[in-house]
Amino acid sequence: MDVPPMELSGRVPVVRADELDADMQKAAEAISDQLTGWGFMAAEVPGIGARVRVMMEEFASACRSSEPRLADYAQSSVPQLAVGGTHGFFPYNSEIPRLANGVPDPKEFIHVSGALLADQPPGAGDVMRAFPAFGAAANDVFDTAFRLISLFGEVVRGMMPPGTPELDLSREATNLRVIRYRDVGDREVLAHEHSGIQMLGLQLPPSDQGLQYVLHDGTWVEPVIAGTDVVLCNIGRMLTSASDDRFRPSTHRVHTKPMPAGYERLSSVLFAYPPHKAPQWKMIDGELVTLDETWGDFIENRFQGLGDAKSPAS
């Protein structure tokens, strides 16, 4: 399936890592126009690509390690709502998306939540201590990505009616997913068409192309972000609900061509959530409505229908 490339480097606002607040304020109008026109947002963050690449390569190295083993830190069930976000290592072939007809995605991945970085609950951070090079790189990327996604959130909030509350993104509940696709063979679909559960998602530069988005007009495009400093910000279903459908979820997928033996694709995305125990809210006809259910309830409801060989998967 031929999908046209969408060049972004040099065509989207530049947001410097050491001037995030000031540069995002200047870029707010352009980013708002992106969301209105495309259904997702983009910015260029000089230097972020190299930092993300180091983190992803350290994760791939950890996946290949036999001593210590990432499998010793594997999770068998999600969501984990008691303390912080979903975190830990999820083994190869452990995620079966809704549209996959029971076939798992050819990948292994880790969720690094703010809670894990704070070692909450105690012991959650053991995996980072076992793989210190990956832990240091993930901590570095998480800090910048969380600040950046919080600022994207302020841009989106500015597009909503007066009286809209802060998105209240929680560092503890937010998680950084680092993914290693491997043993792809002749598969074309690495990740089926989907949108995220979270409030906002931040796609970081992957090692290879293949990430595709559907625009508001129904056209699929492939943003060129591999090997660049461009990041993409997605609308998740939480924010679609909170905005009373003002913003649709950013729908995307990962496609590839038949690849030779030994091919791997590394990618990473930050999923930003409010505190799980906070009540859900909606802006309905310009008025704030607080619901009886929590955002944790929202997550549990959305996890229905996802699964792996043993339990629900993220």
Pick the closest to residue 309 from 112, 128, 96 (CA basis): 96
311 has pLDDT over 50:
no
Mean residue pLDDT of the chain comes to 91
pLDDT of the residue at 28? 98
pLDDT of the residue at 104? 79
Query: Residue range 149-165: average pLDDT?
Result: 97
* Confidence grade of residue 306 (pLDDT, cut at 50, 70, 90): very low
Query: Residue range 33-59: average pLDDT?
Result: 98
Report the DSSP beta bridge partners of residue 108: 180
Pick the closest to residue 1 from 185, 256, 199 (CA basis): 256
Q: Where are the domains of the chain?
A: 5-301
283 has pLDDT over 60:
yes
pLDDT in tens, 83-96: 566 788 999 888 77
- Indicate the pTM of the whole model: 0.93
What is 5-301's CATH number, 2.60.120.330, 2.30.30.230, 3.30.70.3270, 3.40.1350.10? Answer: 2.60.120.330
pLDDT in tens, 48-81: 999 999 999 999 999 999 999 999 998 766 556 5
247 has pLDDT over 90:
yes
Q: Which residue has the higher pLDDT, 223 or 2?
A: 223
pLDDT of the residue at 313? 34
Assess contact for 276 and 199: CB atoms under 8 A: no
pLDDT of the residue at 192? 86
Which residues fall within 8 angstroms of residue 40, CB to CB, at 6 or more apart?
A: 34, 213, 232, 233, 234, 235, 250, 252
Encoding tokens for residue 53?
């690449």
* Confidence grade of residue 234 (pLDDT, cut at 50, 70, 90): very high
**Other C-beta atoms lying within 10 Å of the C-beta of residue 125:** 18
Q: Write out the DSSP string of 248-299.
A: ----EEEE-----TT-EEEEEEEEEE--TTSEEEEEETTEEEEEEEEHHHHH
